[in-house]
Structure 1
Amino acid sequence: MKLSTLQAELPNFKVKVLTAADLADLLALEQSNPAYRQSLGAGEITLAEIQADLVAHPETVTAEQKQVFGFYLAGHLVAMVDVLSRYPKADFMFIGLLMVGADYQRRSVGTVVMMGLMQAALKSNIHCLQLTRVTADAGVAAFWRKLGFEDGDQLFLPLAPSGRLAVTTMTRVLV
């Protein structure tokens, strides 16, 4: 997805593709959300993890398909979304992570960002969004359902201290 297409849909934000130069902003954003890491059974986030996450992608995806967008208000990173374009199919986009800073949660920032992303996706010939969420997190499930996403399969990832983390796929067809 082109940055200019996303920026046009979200004129109240300064949208940019995040890079290693933005690690401090990303660290602050992630540190404002300790419950997310706890839900994964993970410890405190490190700069090295954030740097690796900026470029990590499945082997079947090219580096160009991976984008991490940052959304700024008044010069502060208030949200980010990590996406894989044309994955798992040509007209799909996979949302790896949407994170909103703690001070901006429950203020419609996540909803506005996602509505803009959906409009930009349609303009980019993307017709379906897909993601996985931690199954046990009812608040996250409610957020995505409010945006029209529907539950799919439950999977188990080897992330939790017990060795398995239950996640649920969610899909939203764009029209």
Structure 2
Amino acid sequence: MQIEHLSSDYRVSLLSKKDVPKIYQLYQGNPLYFEHMKTQPTLENTEEDLIILPPGKQKQDKFFVGFWEKEELIAVLDLIAAYPNAHTAFIGLFMVAKEEQGKQTGSKIICQLLKHLKQEGFSTARLAYVKTNPQSEHFWKKNGFVLNGEEKDQGDYTVALMEKML
């Protein structure tokens, strides 16, 4: 996947260990997300996000990318190609910097992402959000995702799955 084409408005790059402090800073600006996950961001779990994979997926299937405006990290996206099937791209995490929220930045990035995924040959985008997080549900519905009826117990919280046909 050519990640540089994920956005025409922002510079996009694969994130690595050297970016962990900037990712962690972005995470800290989103305490509500972590409240629903019943955890807090740490440097350790931030670094873990760079490598964690769903069952059966390989390192080459994961794209943990940052969206940059000049030198500022304004959003992060964890994208898993061909999961849970060959025609689906899974959004494992999408988070926008606090300063960019309410400016349509997130919706603009998702719109461009979905167009690119379709060009890459995917027919569906899928994600899971924490059921107790109405802000997340609202964002994804606003961007055309619909509940597919599946829920998964994650121990401390339950996620609801959503999909969008591309």
Q: Where do residues 46-85 of structure 1 align in structure 2 (5 Å cutoff)?
A: 46-85=42-81
Look up the match of 2:115. 119
Aligned length: 165
Return the alpha-carbon distance in structure 1 between the equivalents of residues 132 and 55 of structure 2. 28
Seq. identity, %: 26
Q: Where do residues 23-172 of structure 1 align in structure 2 (5 Å cutoff)?
A: 23-42=20-39, 44-152=40-148, 153-158=150-155, 160=156, 165-172=157-164
SS at match of 2:76: strand
Look up the match of 1:15. 12
Q: Give the TM-score normalised by structure 2.
A: 0.95
User: Unmatched 5+ residue regions in structure 2?
Assistant: none
Q: Give the TM-score normalised by structure 1.
A: 0.91
User: Unmatched 5+ residue regions in structure 1?
Assistant: none
Runs of 4+ in 1 over 2 A off after TM superposition: none
Return the alpha-carbon distance in structure 1 between the equivalents of residues 111 and 16 of structure 2. 24
Question: Following TM superposition, by how much is the alpha carbon of 1:115 offset from its aligned partner in structure 2, in angstroms?
Answer: 0.5
Return the alpha-carbon distance in structure 1 between the equivalents of residues 31 and 69 of structure 2. 22
Which is further off, 13-22 or 147-156?
Answer: 147-156
